[in-house]
């Protein structure tokens, strides 16, 4: 038997070799198959979330943090519940391996007879092909290993999700144990690469004030250091999009912080918009309704370089790998400039003692978080007001900020904290989430409790004053601080004043044994300020009706 291995074993082994240590799932399938094999693998741990949606978001955050993530779903309802999370991973470039167990082909035929919500006609694969760069149904032991190699290579090459469907009989099917994985060996065409670098060098040297707008691909392709080298050597300042926040640390002297239509510093924004040589490096362009829009300035870009296309002015360059291009620019004869007088992100002020009788505002909350953050803090921001608020946080280290700034899929943050902390246990997530978004997926705190993780979850409780799109009806208020009593784990706080917040944050920081949830009651006043900031960009719509009064802390 030492000459043979099970196909499912091979898949587990390859995932482990590529750095995956945890697979997110929500239980197994009717028939034993790949789920059971994954569970038996010594190198992998199966993490069962409460719902498949949570598994999907967690795997995405894991991939963003560790470079590769994986989610297992049973066929049918299991797989169909992660269509959205896979679409998110696709849009924001997160390499998630979606593994769907299915019944054997023979059994699928019988289920089809049974008119079951069936997969026999390849329905699942058709759907996942919409959001993946490679998809396969393993249908023979002969081709299985090559197919697995092909699909995994695509995930790494494009940093987007892929789909592997593995019928139960094939999961345990035997294949040769000596197999050299096919690794993508794509190379840049040297002449085209040189031409693109020369052209870019010329552009930059001729420009009065070049600016780099760095995107999320810098992180996906692990080019943070190279970007810093490039900026340091050339003296070109760097701003990032919101999705890419933390691809460079705000402590870097060339950092101008965030750029977006409604976020970041005004000075940085005007500096970027007036640049005569705007360099998009690995940047996706956010839509016009996001409030973080970059659409308006895209046509001005002198250079637009991503892993999928490099264009300089009207010219497109094919067959160039993104990292070769970035590394090439570092060595190119770009004339160095002085980094002087560029707008810089505001450094955090020290932690304040809460003022007696003062109600918490978003600005105060953010300042306190900013002050409390340390080298281990990972900010995970959900949507709506929390993301807007979090945009201003000062980033000390690369890779310490997660959000779905492009796709706007609410409910990401709590399961993302789970995924990210498992991916890198030295990080301590601070989750910023609205009441509405918590109500979607926040009960994954159960999974967080199960695995002994310790994020600090801060619920911005707008008490019915939605900061997202319009609501005909207000959300029903929850007593978030009581969730630990349902789970038998965690610490909960309800906070309305600055003094209460101070105490809650300091206790949370010390409580490394479990998660902490802090329900921050924002008053109407605070909401209105947030609304004013973004209202004109369509991000905040009219408030819903007030919910029925049930908590003592409501005004």
Chain positions 85 to 114 lying near a copy of itself, rule: CB under 8 A, are: 87-88, 90-91, 103, 107, 110-111, 113-114
Least distance in angstroms from the C-beta of 111 to a copy of itself: 4
Q: Who's near 113: CB < 8 A, 6+ residues apart?
A: none
Contact 281, 307 (CB under 8 A): no
Of positions 8, 67, 69, 76, contacts a copy of itself by CB under 8 A: 76
Of positions 5, 24, 29, 210, contacts a copy of itself by CB under 8 A: 29
Q: Which of residues 62 and 480 has its CB atom nearest to a copy of itself in the complex?
A: 480
Is residue 410 a contact residue for a copy of itself (CB under 8 A)?
Answer: yes
Of the ranges 12-20, 69-77, 226-234, 255-263, which one interacts with a copy of itself (CB under 8 A)? 69-77
By rule CB under 8 A, what string of x and - marks binding of each residue 227-266 to a copy of itself? ----------------------------------------
Interface of this chain with a copy of itself, residues 482 to 501, rule: CB under 8 A: 482-483, 485-489
Is residue 25 a contact residue for a copy of itself (CB under 8 A)?
Answer: yes
Q: What residue has token string 């054997």? A: 104
Least distance in angstroms from the C-beta of 354 to a copy of itself: 26
Interface of this chain with a copy of itself, residues 281 to 310, rule: CB under 8 A: 284-290, 293-295, 298
Rounded CA Rg of the chain: 24
Is residue 536 a contact residue for a copy of itself (CB under 8 A)?
Answer: no
Q: CB-side exposure of 451: number of CA atoms within 13 Å?
A: 23
Of the ranges 29-37, 138-146, 169-177, 392-400, which one interacts with a copy of itself (CB under 8 A)? 29-37
Is residue 473 a contact residue for a copy of itself (CB under 8 A)?
Answer: yes
Least distance in angstroms from the C-beta of 442 to a copy of itself: 8
Is residue 502 a contact residue for a copy of itself (CB under 8 A)?
Answer: no
Beta strands in 261-376 (DSSP E): 277-281, 301-305, 310-312, 315-317
DSSP 3-state of 293: coil
Of positions 20, 46, 373, 495, contacts a copy of itself by CB under 8 A: 46
Of the ranges 187-195, 196-204, 401-409, 521-529, which one interacts with a copy of itself (CB under 8 A)? 401-409
Contact 231, 212 (CB under 8 A): yes
Is residue 21 a contact residue for a copy of itself (CB under 8 A)?
Answer: no
Angular region, 157: left φ>0, alpha ψ -120 to 50, beta rest: alpha
Q: What is the dihedral of CA 74, 78, 80, 84, to 10 degrees?
A: -120
Interface of this chain with a copy of itself, residues 504 to 523, rule: CB under 8 A: none
Q: Which of residues 123 and 330 has its CB atom nearest to a copy of itself in the complex?
A: 123
Q: Which of residues 190 and 288 has its CB atom nearest to a copy of itself in the complex?
A: 288
Least distance in angstroms from the C-beta of 35 to a copy of itself: 7
How many Å apart are CA 268 and CA 228, to the nearest integer?
Answer: 19
How many Å apart are CA 461 and CA 496, to the nearest integer?
Answer: 10
Beta strands in 318-411 (DSSP E): 377-381, 401-402
Q: Who's near 538: CB < 8 A, 6+ residues apart?
A: 289, 291
Closest CA to 531 of 549, 519, 544, 547: 544
The secondary structure of residue 298, as a DSSP letter, is G
Q: CB-side exposure of 238: number of CA atoms within 13 Å?
A: 30
Is residue 59 a contact residue for a copy of itself (CB under 8 A)?
Answer: no
Contact 412, 88 (CB under 8 A): yes
Q: Which of residues 271 and 407 has its CB atom nearest to a copy of itself in the complex?
A: 407
Is residue 48 a contact residue for a copy of itself (CB under 8 A)?
Answer: yes
How many Å apart are CA 42 and CA 29, to the nearest integer?
Answer: 21
Is residue 169 a contact residue for a copy of itself (CB under 8 A)?
Answer: no
Of positions 31, 246, 255, 367, contacts a copy of itself by CB under 8 A: 31
Beta strands in 87-171 (DSSP E): 96-102, 135-137, 162-167
Interface of this chain with a copy of itself, residues 116 to 155, rule: CB under 8 A: 116-118, 123, 126-127, 130
How many Å apart are CA 98 and CA 71, to the nearest integer?
Answer: 5
By rule CB under 8 A, what string of x and - marks binding of each residue 422-451 to a copy of itself? --------------x--xxx-x--xx-xx-
Least distance in angstroms from the C-beta of 339 to a copy of itself: 30
């Amino acid at each position: 038997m030492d000459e043979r291995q099970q196909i499912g074993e091979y898949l587990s082994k390859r995932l482990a070799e590529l750095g995956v240590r945890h697979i997110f799932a929500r239980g197994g399938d009717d028939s034993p198959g790949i789920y059971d094999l994954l569970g038996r693998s010594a190198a992998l741990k199966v993490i069962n979330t409460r719902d498949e949606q949570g598994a999907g978001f967690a795997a995405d955050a894991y991939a963003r943090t560790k470079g590769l993530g994986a989610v297992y779903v049973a066929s049918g309802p299991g797989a169909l519940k992660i269509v959205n999370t896979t679409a998110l991973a696709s849009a924001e470039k997160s390499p998630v391996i979606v593994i769907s167990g299915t019944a054997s082909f023979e059994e699928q035929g019988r289920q089809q007879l049974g008119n079951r919500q069936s997969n026999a006609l390849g329905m699942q694969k058709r759907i996942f092909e919409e959001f993946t760069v490679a998809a396969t149904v393993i249908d023979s032991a002969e081709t299985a290993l090559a197919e697995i190699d092909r699909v995994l290579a695509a995930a790494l090459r494009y940093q987007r999700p892929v789909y592997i469907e593995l019928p139960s009989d094939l999961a345990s099917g035997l294949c040769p144990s000596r197999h050299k994985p096919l690794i993508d060996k794509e190379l840049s065409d040297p002449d085209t690469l040189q031409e693109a670098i020369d052209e870019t060098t010329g552009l930059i040297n001729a420009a009065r004030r070049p600016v780099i707008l760095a995107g999320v691909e810098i992180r996906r392709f692990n080019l943070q250091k190279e970007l810093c080298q490039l900026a340091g050597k050339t003296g070109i300042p760097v701003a990032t999009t919101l999705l890419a926040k933390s691809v460079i640390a705000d402590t870097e002297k060339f950092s101008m912080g965030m750029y977006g239509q409604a976020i970041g510093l005004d000075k940085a924004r005007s500096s970027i918009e007036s640049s005569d040589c705007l360099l998009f490096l690995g940047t996706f362009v956010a839509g016009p309704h996001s409030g973080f829009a970059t659409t308006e300035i895209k046509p001005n870009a002198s250079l637009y370089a991503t892993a999928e296309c490099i264009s300089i002015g009207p010219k497109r360059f094919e067959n160039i790998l993104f990292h070769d291009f970035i590394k090439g620019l570092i060595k190119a004869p770009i004339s160095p400039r002085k980094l002087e007088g560029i707008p810089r992100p505001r450094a955090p002020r020290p932690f304040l003692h809460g003022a007696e009788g003062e109600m918490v505002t978003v600005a105060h909350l953010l300042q306190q978080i900013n002050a409390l953050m340390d080298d281990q803090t990972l900010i995970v921001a959900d949507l709506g007001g929390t993301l807007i608020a979090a945009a201003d946080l000062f980033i000390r280290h690369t890779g310490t900020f997660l959000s779905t700034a492009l796709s706007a899929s609410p409910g990401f943050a709590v399961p993302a904290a789970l995924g990210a902390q498992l991916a890198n246990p030295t990080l301590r997530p601070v989750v910023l989430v609205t009441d509405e978004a918590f109500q979607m997926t926040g009960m994954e705190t159960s999974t967080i409790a199960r695995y002994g993780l310790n994020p600090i979850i801060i619920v911005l409780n707008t008490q019915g004053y939605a900061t997202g799109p319009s609501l005909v009806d207000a959300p029903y208020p929850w007593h978030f601080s009581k969730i630990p009593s349902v789970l038998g784990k965690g610490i909960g706080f309800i906070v309305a004043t600055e003094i209460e917040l101070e105490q809650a944050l300091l206790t949370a920081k010390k409580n490394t044994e479990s998660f902490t949830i802090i329900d921050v009651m924002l008053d109407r006043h605070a909401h209105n300020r947030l609304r004013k900031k973004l209202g004109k960009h369509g991000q905040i719509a009219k408030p819903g009706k007030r919910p029925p009064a049930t908590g003592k802390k409501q005004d």
